[in-house]
Amino acid sequence: MWGRAIVGVVCCLVGAIWIGQGTSLIGGSFMSGHEQWTIVGAVLVALGVGLLVSAWLRSSRRVVRE
């Protein structure tokens, strides 16, 4: 459970940075201003949210069973 949550948070953070660079909100990288990184970042954020929801649902099922 904790592994999924940690990976989910990391995916969300990295995805948010890539979205920022793709939209030129964060500069200083080869990714700055390239729309493809915005899309890749959004997909990574969605994956991270999915992992976080999965971890949360798994932990709530454990609480109910115990």
pLDDT band at 63 (very low <50, low <70, confident <90, very high): low
Average pLDDT over residues 8-21: 96
- Owner of token pair 């949210």: 49
Residues 35-44 pLDDT 10s: 999 999 999 9
Q: Where are the domains of the chain?
A: 2-65
Dist CA 46 CA 42 (whole Å): 6
Check whether 9 has a pLDDT greater than 80. yes
Dist CA 8 CA 59 (whole Å): 14
Check whether 22 has a pLDDT greater than 90. yes
Check whether 26 has a pLDDT greater than 60. yes
